[in-house]
Amino acid sequence: MSSVTRPNQSTRGAMVPDQPWIDRSAAACSDLVCLLGRVLIGGIFVQSGFGKLMGLDAFAAGLARNGIPGAVAQVLRRSARLLSSSAASPSSLD
Would you kindly state where each structural domain of the chain is located, as residue ranges? 19-52, 55-85
The pLDDT of residue 13 is above 70: no
Q: How far is CA 22 from the centre of its chain?
A: 29
* Average of per-residue pLDDT across 29-38: 88
Q: pLDDT: is 18 or 2 the higher one?
A: 18
Nearest to 56, CA basis, from 86, 83, 16: 83
Q: pLDDT: is 73 or 35 the higher one?
A: 35
Q: How far apart are CA 6 and CA 40, in angstroms?
A: 35
Alpha-helix runs per DSSP H in the chain: 21-54, 56-65, 70-88
* Average of per-residue pLDDT across 2-27: 65
Q: Which pLDDT score is estimated for 94? A: 46
The pLDDT of residue 76 is above 70: yes
